[in-house]
Structure 1
């Protein structure tokens, strides 16, 4: 299987792994958005049709807004997600992993006129199949990327572990290790938890079961669970 994960580095030196979305989930998201737009147009047609010639002018304005402004406004206001992308857990981001801006949202969506050529999004499909990260021409020009962005549910506090700040400053790698321990601890035996927590005795000042609880409390603090 091809690796479609794009790794970028922030100015702070943090590596971000962006799981690029392929043409299939993107096509499904587009189909959902198309169904929504057609529904909106059907409702508008029924309403404006009763207004005669004036209603026809309003309908043409709505037709333009629904097919061109809809994706731009949604991506600009809702963190790179249209309703279809939200259902499929997709999101448009900048090439460096930052939130997509209004200019990039405009460019990538206006470039659909090229991606649609000669018919059925043929140019866009060829581009997404040829590009390592599944980008269509609009994404390449706008410097954007469509990624998988599953919704993350907030986890509750670890039972019995009160929030506690670490006694010493922790480096990023140490912070990641503490958080990883708290996330994996429920899947480990109590003996294995205590064994790992003993390694962090200089940080917690405790060993055994008390060290496990103390380490989980620090993880809660690092995750902002007040």
Structure 2
């Protein structure tokens, strides 16, 4: 379930509802920059260490550069809970879209497709793709079914026990009841400001109410029989 604040919630196989927050391009750029600096430092160290081997050293160096460039992120994503050093420093990690750990196939796919995201230069396609969808997925993420998430934003959605059931002020049509129930179920994934904004769309149903969001949620609770 996607929200207006780019948060979305999923239900785990264990029946736990989680709220997830995809990471935007700015933090992901910083994470990428840190990882690039780390890879660069390792490559410089290898070049110095292998310089004395002449042509043999050049060949070994090129092989190691290839492996570092393409397998560095795969290794950390699979064996360090989806976190490269850069992502770890930024409080981010890679997971499947349902928040389960990233699989070997998905990690390989999202990283091999980095060359497509990089086109025409400086991750141009990847940036346009990220800004075109609510989960900030680049092309590699979409194909692999992965998403980069904020670690601290993963939290269970709790039942809204503090909401008092409210009897609707008038008989409601079926579509109105469904819309109100949907709002009540989504309420926990919205900020207070967004919840108020959306609740006021109900017009006369919430007119002159101190908290339109609480009142509309109360109606949703009443309609669902939670009285």
Q: After the TM superposition, which parts of structure 1 deviate over 3 Å for at least 4 consecutive aligned residues?
A: none
Tell me the TM-score normalized by structure 1.
Answer: 0.65
Tell me the TM-score normalized by structure 2.
Answer: 0.65
- Give the equivalent residue in structure 2 for 1:148: 150
- 1:13 and 1:59, CA in 2 relative to 1: closer, same or farther beyond 3 A? same
Q: Deviations over 1:79-109 (max 9, x none)?
A: 1000000000100011111011111110100
In the TM superposition, what is the alpha-carbon distance from 1:150 to its structure 2 partner?
Answer: 3.6
- Give the equivalent residue in structure 2 for 1:195: none
- Give the equivalent residue in structure 2 for 1:87: 89
- Give the equivalent residue in structure 2 for 1:122: 124
- Give the equivalent residue in structure 2 for 1:221: none
- 1:151 and 1:46, CA in 2 relative to 1: closer, same or farther beyond 3 A? farther
Q: Which is bigger in relative contact order (C-alpha 8 A, separation at least 6)?
A: 2
Aligned to 2:149, what secondary structure does the other structure show?
strand
- Give the equivalent residue in structure 2 for 1:183: none
**Mapped partners of 1:173, 1:54: distance in 2:** 61
**Mapped partners of 2:69, 2:58: distance in 1:** 17
Q: Deviations over 1:132-174 (max 9, x none)?
A: 111101100000010011499xxxxxxxxxxxxxxxxxxx979
Given that 1:9 and 1:16 are in contact with CA atoms closer than 8 Å, whether structure 2 keeps it comes out as yes
> What root-mean-square deviation, in Å, do the aligned CA atoms of Structure 1 and Structure 2 show?
2.4
**Mapped partners of 1:151, 1:38: distance in 2:** 31
Q: Quick one: which of 11, 14, 19 aligns to 1:12?
A: 14
Give ranges in structure 1 of 5+ residues lacking alignment.
153-171, 178-226
Is 1:132 aligned to 2:120, yes or no?
no
